[in-house]
Amino acid sequence: MRKEEETIKWVLSDLSDLSEFSDEFRAYCEEKSLDETKIFELELSLEELIVNSFTHGYEGDEEGSVTVEAEDTGPNVKISLQDKAPPFDLFRDAPAPRLGGEDPEPETGVEPEKEPEPEAETELKQEKVGGLGIHLVKSLNDRVEYYGSQNGNIVVIIKAKA
pLDDT in tens, the chain (162 residues): 344 457 899 999 999 999 999 999 999 999 999 999 999 999 999 999 999 999 889 986 668 999 999 999 999 999 999 999 998 887 787 777 766 555 555 555 555 565 555 555 545 444 444 578 888 999 999 999 999 888 899 999 999 998
- The string of DSSP letters for 56-119 reads IISTTTS---EEEEEEE-SSEEEEEEEE-SSP--TTTTSPPPB-SS-PPPPTTSSPPP-PPPPH
| CA–CA distance, 23 with 32 (Å, rounded to integer) | 14
| CA–CA distance, 42 with 110 (Å, rounded to integer) | 40
In the sheet with 152-160, reading across from the earlier edge strand, the strands are 2-4, 7-12, 66-72, 76-83, 152-160, 143-149
| CA–CA distance, 45 with 68 (Å, rounded to integer) | 12
| CA–CA distance, 160 with 79 (Å, rounded to integer) | 11
Q: Which top CATH class is 2-160?
A: alpha beta
Beta partners for residue 152, in sequence order: 149
Contact between 87 and 56 (Cβ < 8 Å): no
Other residues' Cβ atoms within 10 Å of the Cβ of residue 20:
12
